[in-house]
Amino acid sequence: MRSPFPPSWLLAVLAATGFTAMAGPVSAQETAPAATASPIRYSGGDGLTLKKSIVIAGAVSTGAGEAAELDWIREHHPGAVFQSRGRITGPPHYDVVTVKLASGALMDLHFDISGFFGK
């Protein structure tokens, strides 16, 4: 009968190359773009409506842009907890991120993701 676990030599190779398994939420540092990437810039409004969406520029990929959304939320709404993300495809393209504020209220934040959508 074959073992469901990788052979010990594979585990040794993975350990030697610095591979680690992750459990739990991913931190901003783990999802942040590489230091060589252009810096993230924010413009636009407060994100409470599509017309006042937060524009993210400088993200080199969808993952980097989504990490930038979470960074903006941490900075502007300390203690908020991510609930869900929806996408409006255009152009322009938007993410609507629902967060639970420290007060317990739910808030939708609108991000214009046209600059990095699909990268």
Q: Which residues are CB-contacts of 106 (< 8 A; sequence separation ≥ 6)? A: 83, 98, 99, 100
3-state SS class at 73: helix
Q: What is the pLDDT along the chain (119 residues), one digit of tens a residue?
A: 444 444 443 333 333 333 333 323 333 333 444 444 569 999 999 999 999 999 999 999 999 999 999 999 999 999 999 999 999 998 999 999 999 999 999 999 999 999 999 88
Q: What is the pLDDT of residue 119?
A: 83
Q: What is the pLDDT of residue 9?
A: 39
Length of the chain: 119
Q: What is the pLDDT of residue 13?
A: 35
Q: How far apart are CA 74 and CA 46, in angstroms?
A: 14
Q: Which residues are CB-contacts of 37 (< 8 A; sequence separation ≥ 6)? A: 58, 60, 64
Q: What is the pLDDT of residue 48?
A: 97
Q: What is the pLDDT of residue 118?
A: 87
Residue 38, φ and ψ in degrees, nearest 5: -65, 150
Q: How far apart are CA 32 and CA 36, in angstroms?
A: 11
Q: Where are the domains of the chain?
A: 31-112
